[in-house]
Structure 1
Amino acid sequence: MEKRFFDETNGLWYELGDGYYYPCPTVSEEEKRPISIWGQQHEQYLKEHRQIVYNTLLLSGKLNAYLADIDRQAQEQYELLINQMKQSRGITEDLKATDPLTWVGRMNNAQACAREIVNNEIIYN
């Protein structure tokens, strides 16, 4: 028996181990995009709560691209929310210069709120 073989029907490589052939998912160079904290959190969520979706994406070789897309969406929404909250709550550079502690408190609050919204709408959804 061969140690490795390629199945043309599904496009996957298989490797012999313990008498069984196991799929060897590969990721193309296009799909190797960096994944930051948002994508990593979503991956952990998929592993724990959406195992079928996780395994389907992993075996099809689309997991990395999917997580990179989720990561990009979450980061864009986070930055947009932070900017909107800074405007609506009066968090300005003038405030930072005149009262740094108030500025830090308001920024921390805005970041926590934005993280919560992104987590609820994108990461754990």
Structure 2
Amino acid sequence: MYYLDLYLPEEAEYLIEKYGMLRKSYLQEHRKGLYLELVLAGKLNEHLYQIDEEYNQMMDRLVEQMKERQGVTEELKMQDQMAWVGKMNNIRNCAEEIVVKEIVYA
């Protein structure tokens, strides 16, 4: 009996953070075909790294835009630090919810 000598291509090592791991779990559970395609092509780690990078860039943009719209400035931080912290936490949570829906679960 003969067995094929199959192997997966070598993947580049990337530091995968929280949102890359969320994407991996999503692909494993809901998009099995795409997950297997990425694994067999040796591009899964690269894809997850790109998801992390896109997430960070989009978060930075959204947080800045929301800060401008809601009038959250350094002046507010100096005058009323607790109000500033509350608004910034709200902004970050809203931005994170948007980005996770748009990038991780897309």
Q: 2:15 aligns with which of 34, 37, 40?
A: 34
Between the two proteins, what is the percent identity of the paired residues?
41
Deviation at 1:56, TM superposition (A): 1.1
Instruction: Specify every segment of 5 or more residues in structure 2 that has no aligned partner in the other structure, as ranges.
Output: none
With structure 2 as the length reference, what TM-score do the two structures score?
0.89
Runs of 4+ in structure 1 off by over 6 angstroms are 1-4
Is the CA contact (8 Å cut-off) linking 2:8 and 2:42 kept in structure 1?
Answer: no
- Corresponding residue number in structure 1 for 2:53: 72
Instruction: Specify every segment of 5 or more residues in structure 1 that has no aligned partner in the other structure, as ranges.
Output: 6-13, 15-22
Show the 5 A alignment for 1:2-13: 5=5
Deviation at 1:47, TM superposition (A): 0.9
Count of aligned pairs: 106
Kindly indicate which of the two structures has a greater share of residues assigned to helix: 2
Deviation at 1:26, TM superposition (A): 2.6
CA distance in 2, matches of 1:93, 1:2: 70
Higher relative contact order at CA 8 Å, sep ≥6: structure 1 or structure 2?
Answer: 2
Q: Which has the larger radius of gyration?
A: 1
The alignment's C-alpha RMSD in Å is 2.0
CA distance in 1, matches of 2:79, 2:2: 72
